[in-house]
Structure 1
């Protein structure tokens, strides 16, 4: 492994410089952060640049369908107790965005990197990570992402014989199947609220039995491994049986689960649970998620939910009725253009809430809410929906590009 004194090759330096220049030009033109286009240019000039940038770092990869951006941020905060960290904190999680993030820091010791599920195996091959955190797998972007079983198979093949320490959620059968090919796994009982993608055994296709919090396949014997870390209410249980309190400013059970996995990752690098969890308290919002913003005399809490599992978790943390809820759904390329997933979401959990519907695909959502026997109104835009709500707090739940639209409108 190269030492920190090893400079980048002239070609790599040129690639980094060019990538930064293109990113700066993109920002100046008002086209976002520029990290993706900058990374693409850099990788064109030096296809091995990601591997070169990673060689002096202890790399931690984080992948999942839901929660990877937040968990990446929590791990980064925890590891700052042990040294400087570079991270793709804004969620640009494919090779170009990851390359841009790593090119932005020359003195970091740790690289904490969120990775899109489809790219995990390739990024792991390039970056030789010390640790990989696998949180969950569920249906998402039906027109782009492979069926979940195929994604799990891709992970399993990519991790086979890996030297990385894999920190994996033992409550998700697809994650367990994927991680089981790796020789060094730390199991975390992080929970699984959404179970509809894991009723058949990923190993043999048999029907999964799910007594209580346990699961196993009655046909081939594939079963839930025994965890060494666990989320237990408001505490993380470590491998010694000690319970450490979780104090987060982020809401909901899912974020406590993210904190439990993050504490297990931090421990791999010698950061004790108490220190790791205390540092996680600093995180108030992640790329705008969970922010409360003032808009038209109301307090809007911005919540991102991109797929059925995410919507289910989000419904569990909103204020009780009669708190108004604004739902916004788009179906642009970054969201996935197939909206049939709306039919997988249990909207009866919103009974009692006044519901306002906006977004490009508001009529698709309106049909789904009609069938779920919910009371709602459709509005042309956010301004009209907010104006129809009483003063006070409004819960705003949006999928990916709808969330970005909302942030721009409210100046967040």
Structure 2
């Protein structure tokens, strides 16, 4: 266990105070939580502040292109069984946001930190985590994060020789390759629904073979490692063969996968799987995701889907027709400005659903749906989309900034 917090230097104290003041001003001006601007100010005054704030914590980092915010919440809840936790629960996952979160955790024992994929290796160097959970890598924000294998290679190089216990999804070849440079890896059979980013071997470029639940490269021999934890239906199988039931308020197979990785990570900190999984049931929603809200006398469920892998998982949560669906896509900085990923999503899964299309890039999405042969209606805004949708609970699926727009509109 990490020791108690050491007193901060005068410079570090000044940085924390200035950061909190900047965050307060940002909140008062109605410009969000202020965590990012607060962290930027603090790091400007003390560039080593992130490392200083983490010295007394047992830290676990969580990174992926899908599921990291939810897994961070589930894991934080599990670790609270053993002590106080500080976490960037609202998803501010770059160094500035992480610094702001840790600045409020002087009494905590654990730090459960979601990290943007691009910054994982750097944050790991700063905070010296005890564990790192790696879930998946798929195409996301192509203009910023580039090609997935390049990102896996950065992880592989940046985490090589790490003292941390790596909890890695063995069903994702890119994750397996990235984690294979680390001396201590706990392999989890967490599943992989989206496979279109991992048909070629990340080690040699050969074609991966994917029989049943396995995968391997016939050219270089790179293959799926033997797992010690596994998601099996509604249970997590631990290294001793015991099956622990997953009972979540969060829907879908993807969240069971997140729970399996979280249980394996919690075990690295001494939390029993039974206790960890029972505590995860407390998580009802994650930063508004999965919330059902009342809007114009209609029940609307808010769902986030940022990339093709996320859309695929989200479609599996929707009941069959005639459930109405609203789709909203933006392409602002936080989303990535390249919307070519829309063509990788199998929208034919929505055949038969009444579809309404909104968002900054509604016409891009409309062209995609037209080519898919789906019937839909383009609307000017969320209000029109809700009012014109037929009876029944509405499923609203949006990418990152479009999701935030919906939350603001419904006052969530």
Partner of 2:211: 211
- The reply on whether 1:33 has 2:48 as its aligned counterpart is no
Partner of 1:56: 56
In structure 1, runs of 5+ residues without a counterpart are: none
Asked if 1 retains the 8 angstrom alpha-carbon contact of 2:2 and 2:57, the reply is no
Asked if 1 retains the 8 angstrom alpha-carbon contact of 2:15 and 2:42, the reply is yes
Residues 202-351 of structure 1: matches in 2 within 5 Å? 202-351=202-351
> 1:395 & 1:42 partners in 2: Cα distance?
40
After TM superposition, give the deviation of residue 376 of structure 1 in Å: 0.4
> 1:212 & 1:251 partners in 2: Cα distance?
25
Asked if 1 retains the 8 angstrom alpha-carbon contact of 2:5 and 2:106, the reply is no
Match of 2:8, SS state, is: coil
> 1:298 & 1:375 partners in 2: Cα distance?
22
After TM superposition, give the deviation of residue 105 of structure 1 in Å: 1.6
Match of 2:111, SS state, is: strand
Asked if 2 retains the 8 angstrom alpha-carbon contact of 1:297 and 1:391, the reply is no
> 1:3 & 1:253 partners in 2: Cα distance?
38
- The reply on whether 1:384 has 2:384 as its aligned counterpart is yes
Match of 1:143, SS state, is: helix
After TM superposition, give the deviation of residue 3 of structure 1 in Å: 4.0
Partner of 1:71: 71
Match of 1:392, SS state, is: coil
Asked if 1 retains the 8 angstrom alpha-carbon contact of 2:5 and 2:55, the reply is no
> 2:173 & 2:243 partners in 1: Cα distance?
25
- The reply on whether 1:142 has 2:142 as its aligned counterpart is yes
Partner of 2:175: 175
- The runs of 4+ residues in structure 1 deviating greater than 2 Å are none
| Residue-by-residue CA offset, 1:132-155 (whole Å, 9 max, x unaligned) | 000000000111112100100000
Match of 2:142, SS state, is: coil
Asked if 2 retains the 8 angstrom alpha-carbon contact of 1:252 and 1:317, the reply is yes
Partner of 2:375: 375
Match of 1:60, SS state, is: strand
Partner of 1:42: 42
Match of 1:132, SS state, is: strand
Partner of 1:362: 362
After TM superposition, give the deviation of residue 391 of structure 1 in Å: 3.6
> 1:304 & 1:32 partners in 2: Cα distance?
19
After TM superposition, give the deviation of residue 5 of structure 1 in Å: 5.3
Q: CA RMSD in A?
A: 0.9
In structure 2, runs of 5+ residues without a counterpart are: none
Asked if 1 retains the 8 angstrom alpha-carbon contact of 2:328 and 2:397, the reply is yes
Q: TM-score, normalised by structure 2?
A: 0.99
Match of 2:239, SS state, is: coil
Q: How many residues align?
A: 412
| Residue-by-residue CA offset, 1:114-170 (whole Å, 9 max, x unaligned) | 000000000000000000000000000111112100100000011111000000000
